A and B are shown apart, each in its own frame.
Chain A
Amino acid sequence: MSFWELIVSLLGQGLVITLLTTVLAAILALVLGFIGGLMRLSKNKFIRFIVAIYVEVFRGTSLLVQLFWIYFVLPMFGLTMSALTAAVLAIGLNYGAYTSEVVRSGIQSVDKGQTEASIALNFTRVQRMRRIIIPQAFILMLPNLGNQLIELFKSTSLVALITLTDLTYQANVLNATTLQTTQIFTALLVIYFVIAWPMTKGMKMLERKMTEGRM
C-alpha cells in the first residue's frame, strides 16, 4: 500500500473510535471535574475528604494501571463492561481528577470582591456561583482545560492496549498484516499530529476570544 492508502485505511478504521473516546471521556472529565472542584470547596469536611481521596487516588496511580484495573479486575466483581465503556470510564475518571483541581484553583482565583459584591446584592449561594463566580473562573480555567483536552486526546492511544479498535490498535493490526512498519507508524504519528495541532491552535484562539476586553 502507498503512504496515502495507509493513511486512508487507518483513518477509515480507527478515527471514529479515537474521536468518540476523546469526546465521551472529555465530557465525563469535565462533569466530574466541576462536581469534584465544587465539592472540594464545600464547608463540609467529610465531602472535602471524599473528593480528596478520589483526586489523590486517580492522580497518584497511572492511567494505564487504572485502565487495566477497570477492564480486567472489575469483571471479577461482576462488573463486566465493553472496552469502550472501560476506556471512557478510566480516562474520564483520571482526567476528571486533574480537572477538579483546575476548577478548584480557578474558582479560588476569582477576586474576593466579586463574592462580597454578590453577597451585598443579596444573591443566593447558587446564584452567586452560577452568575458571578463560575463565568469568571471559567475564563481563568480555559488555558488549563485546553491543555488537558490535548493530553486527553493523546492518552486515548492507550485504549488500544485493552483491545479497543482505535487508530493505534488499527496501526498495529495493519503492521502485522502488511509489515510496512515505517510507513504505518509514520502515518500514525502524522494523523495524531494533524488532529492535535489544530486543537492546540483552536484552544488558543478560543482563549483569546473569551478574554477579549476582559483581561
Chain B
Amino acid sequence: MWDWNYAFEVLPDIASALWVTISATLVGFVLALVVGLIWTLMIRSNNKIISNVADGIVKFIRNTPLLVQLYFIFYVFPQFGLSLEPFTAGVIGLGLHYSTYLSEVYRSGIESVGPGQWEVATALNFDTRKTWTRIILPQAIPPVLPVIGNYFITMFKETPLLSAITLVEILQTAQNIGAGTFRYTEPLTIVGVLFLLLSYPASVALRQLEIRVTERY
C-alpha cells in the first residue's frame, strides 16, 4: 500500500517543484495587492462611470470560478495574439481573481478610518495623494493585515489549479510521476502533506498576529 522507499525516491522531485508553487503564489499575491487597491480606489472615485465599471468588473470576477478564468486567459487571449506562458497566465489569473477579494478587504479597512481623519487631512491642506499615503492607508491597512494574510494562504492553496493550464507545479509533478509508475498514493499524499506543513504554521502565526492586532486596535 504505502512504500517508504518509493516515497523517498519521489520526494526530491516533488519538493523541487515547490518553488514553482511558491513563486506563483508570491507574484500572484503582489499583483493582487496592487490591483486590489486600484479597484478600491476606482470604486471610491467620484466619477460615476469609473466607479460603476470597476464595481461591475469586480462583481463579475468574484462570481465566476478561478479555473474558468484561467482557461479564458490561457486559451482565449492567444486568439487575440496574446500568447502567455502557463506561469504568466496562471499568475495573472490568480492575481486578478484575488485582487477582487482584497479590494473588499481594503474597503472595509478604509471605512473603519474615522471621518475626523479626512477632515484633519483637509485642515492640514494635504493633497489627495498625501492624504492617502500619509493618513488614510497607514491607519486602514494594519487592522486588516490578518485578513490579507489569510488570503495569502488561500491563494497558496489554490495554486494547484494552475496545473490545469499545464503549469508543472507541485500537483502536476506528482501527477506526472503517478502517470509514469501508476502509483499515485505516495506522490499525491506527499503533495497534501507539503501543503499542510506549509500552510498550518502560517495560519498559526496569523492567529498570533490577529491577537496582537485586536489588542492594538
Given A73-B184, A154-B64, A155-B65, check contact A185 B157 (CB 8 Å): no
Q: Which of A172-215 contact B (CB under 8 A)?
A: 172, 175, 181-182, 185-186, 188-189, 192-193, 196-197, 200
A200 to B76, Cβ gap below 8 A? no
Let me know if A73 and B189 touch, CB within 8 A.
yes
A65-B160, A168-B65, A181-B75 known; A60+B191 contact, CB < 8 A = no
Determine the chain B residues whose CB is within 8 A of the CB of A171 once the complex forms: 68, 71
Return the contact of A68 from the options B1, B60, B64, B171 (Cβ within 8 A): B171
Asked if B94 is at the interface of the complex by the 8 Å CB criterion, the answer is no
A171 to B60, CA, bound (A): 19
Contacts known (A69-B188, A181-B76, A197-B59); A189 close to B68, Cβ less than 8 A: yes
Rounded to whole Å, the gap between the CB of A60 and the closest CB of chain B is 4
A155: B residues at CB distance < 8 A: 65
Contact: B188 with A57, CB < 8 Å? Answer: no
Chain B interface category by residue count: 35 or more
Q: How far is the CB of B11 from chain A (nearest CB, A)?
A: 16
The listed residue (B63, B159, B185) touching A200 by CB distance below 8 A is: B63
A192 pairs with B1, CB closer than 8 A: no
Chain A residues near B183 (CB-CB < 8 A): 76
Cα distance A146–B178 in the bound complex, in angstroms: 37
Interface positions of B from 174 to 206, Cβ below 8 Å from A: 175, 178, 183-185, 188-189, 191-192, 195-196, 199-200, 203
CB interface residues, B 59-106, toward A, < 8 Å: 59-60, 63-69, 71-72, 75-76, 79-80
A56-B200, A64-B160, A68-B171 as given contacts; A193 in contact with B67, CB under 8 Å: no
Chain A residues positioned under 8 Å from B66 (CB to CB): 154
B34 shortest CB reach to chain A, Å: 23
Chain B, residue nearest A74 (CB): B185
Please measure, in the bound complex, the distance between the C-alpha atom of A190 and the C-alpha atom of B192, giving whole angstroms: 33
Extra 20 A-B pairs, beta carbons < 8 Å, given A61-B192, A62-B171 = A56-B200, A60-B157, A61-B195, A64-B160, A65-B160, A65-B171, A65-B191, A65-B195, A73-B185, A76-B184, A77-B1, A154-B66, A168-B68, A175-B75, A182-B76, A185-B68, A185-B72, A185-B76, A196-B63, A197-B59
Q: List 22 A-B contacts (CB under 8 A).
A: A56-B200, A59-B199, A60-B157, A62-B160, A64-B161, A65-B188, A69-B189, A69-B192, A76-B184, A76-B185, A154-B63, A154-B65, A156-B65, A157-B65, A157-B68, A158-B65, A158-B67, A171-B71, A181-B76, A181-B79, A188-B71, A197-B59
